[in-house]
Amino acid sequence: MRGLAGPSEWTSPGTWLAAVMSISSLSNGVSPHPSGRYRLPSRSVKPLAEQPDPPDTLDETIPQALGERGVPANTIETVVSLCKRRGFVFPSGEIYGGTRSAWDYGPLGVELKENIKRQWWKTMVQSREDVVGLDSAVILPRKVWEASGHVEAFVDPLVECLSCHRRFRSDHLQEEFAERTGKQPAEGDLSEVPCPNCGTRGQYTEPRSFNGLLKTFLGPVESEEGLHYLRPETAQGIFVNFLNVQTTSRKKPPFGIGQIGKSFRNEITPGNFIFRTREFEQMEMEFFVEPGEDERWHQYWIDLRTEWYTDLGIKSDNLRHYEHPKEKLSHYSKRTVDIEYRFQFSSGQEWGELEGIANRTDFDLTTHSNHSGVDLSFFDQTTGARYRPFVIEPAAGVGRPMMAFLLDAYAEDEAPNAKGGIDKRTVLRLDRRLAPVKAAVLPLSRNSDLTPKARDLAAQLRKNWNVEFDDAGAIGRRYRRQDEIGTPFCITVDFDSLEDQAVTVRERDSMTQERVALDQVEGYLAARLLGC
């Protein structure tokens, strides 16, 4: 999208999909924990490297997939179609035409979202001695946003196409044009930039400031006194609770406060599926450090957050760091680095932001101290020094990582069928920790002896994991359905199970199968679903 952030380069079907898509250095390991309390082992981040009816017999689905993993050129359109068809994501209010600014997450989508949030919370909060959690209000006092600078400075440059009268952010138009053509227009120059909607070149109004805060009113009358804002970020709820959390949890810098919750921004041009929406979920952590220690901690969190994505299956070739130029930094930032993913949007834009890691200095605690009259500083009893901590902020959404995980996991490969031919197989190779369904229990056929046994097994396994029961269709077809949604294990109860009290467990990626005793299935899965 823009420049690199380090020494190494990282780089619809139907009308609803058309509407979705129309607008649109790595280090060699994790930095040692600067305090010495969490010296994580350094590790290199390395690259990871419609179906015909499948056969009815179990043994004929055993062969390994043939050939290398394949990914179609139009991966985004393919994955968006899969999301709608299989129940990951639906257009919000689809029966009334839908909207580009909001999406509803279906049965599989909500499971995937929850798994992403669960992994973030485990990594960023539960597994660390120096981070605690918070859940602050969506509607904060208006003075919070006045003090933080959002009322005055949370603005974007808005232009309107003089031909079709669609409105866009001028900086986004320039960035996408530069990435698509390799030409970098001068600041504010849109003379060569075509309208993404109608194609007219260079015909725009002069940019004007557009505030992205969404207003609401509290109380029975829509008056100035009742004017409030839906939060555009979760961070401010953390800053105003700094003293509450610090004193009650008895933490001292370096320590962090993590939060997951909904935020709202009046985006000028929402689009690119769930990439840019007006309502979204954030996963943010504010890490408070002693001034002078901020730069080391900033790099530490850049490295650690990058590793989180690769550990959960994102190929490092599809990631890069983008360093914000000093002249484009937010008003609170000393330095900001984005982790970007190679989305390859249909608009021609290749990269998009996954997460930003900002050095916010002491801006937030200072401005809230000044506006509230409450001193948000820390007194170090060991040294006798009082200071206002600097803040390092790793901030990610939930929708964008979800989109990246789906794109990176999508694959099409080939497998032999029972007739000696080759079938194409669609599979989501999601990390097991993220997979919406962990296992599917499949009776070989609808049979009065097999079905109750399979249902009992599914009920037992559901006490620990999200498990599906499916007895509709040929066994091979049911395998393919589970492959397409990323289910790691399929467990088949067959007629031999009535005699030997064992089942066949099939693994998603290799399609290998093994026989496991019924009373050992739970332990078998537990050993392979660690961290889920």
Q: Is the peptide bond before 254 cis (omega within 30 degrees of 0)?
A: yes
| Residue 528 is labelled as binding a ligand | no
| Residue 278 is labelled as binding a ligand | yes
β-bridge mates for residue 242, sequence order: none
Amino acid at 222: E
Q: Tokens 């005055």 appear where?
A: 152
| Residue 67 is labelled as binding a ligand | no
| Residue 394 is labelled as binding a ligand | yes
Residue 273 has pLDDT above 80, yes or no: yes
| Residue 360 is labelled as binding a ligand | no
Going along the chain from its start, the domains and CATH numbers come out as 14-154+212-406 (3.30.930.10), 437-528 (3.40.50.800)
| Residue 427 is labelled as binding a ligand | no
| Residue 118 is labelled as binding a ligand | no
State pLDDT tens for residues 133-188. 999 999 999 999 999 988 887 777 889 999 998 888 888 898 888 878 888 888 87
Q: What six digits make up the tokens of 126?
A: 């539960």
Query: What is the model's pLDDT at position 73?
Result: 52
Q: Tokens 């029972």 appear where?
A: 418
| Residue 279 is labelled as binding a ligand | yes
Average pLDDT over residues 445-457: 94
Query: What is the model's pLDDT at position 237?
Result: 97
Q: Tokens 């589970």 appear where?
A: 482
DSSP letter assigned to residue 189: -
Which of these, 334, 317, 337, 318, lies nearest to 6 by C-alpha position?
337
Q: What six digits make up the tokens of 196?
A: 């993404």
DSSP 282-315: EEEEEEEE-TTSHHHHHHHHHHHHHHHHHHTT--
Average pLDDT over residues 452-466: 97
| Residue 283 is labelled as binding a ligand | yes
- For residues 98 and 91, the answer to whether their CB atoms sit within 8 Å is yes
Query: What is the model's pLDDT at position 50?
Result: 31
Q: CA–CA separation, 503 vs 498, rounded Å?
A: 9
Q: CA–CA separation, 9 vs 165, rounded Å?
A: 38
- For residues 80 and 24, the answer to whether their CB atoms sit within 8 Å is no
Residue 38 has pLDDT above 70, yes or no: no
Residue 27 has pLDDT above 70, yes or no: no
| Residue 353 is labelled as binding a ligand | yes
- For residues 240 and 374, the answer to whether their CB atoms sit within 8 Å is no
Other residues' Cβ atoms within 10 Å of the Cβ of residue 419: 10
Q: What six digits make up the tokens of 435?
A: 């997979």
| Residue 468 is labelled as binding a ligand | no
| Residue 275 is labelled as binding a ligand | yes
| Residue 265 is labelled as binding a ligand | yes
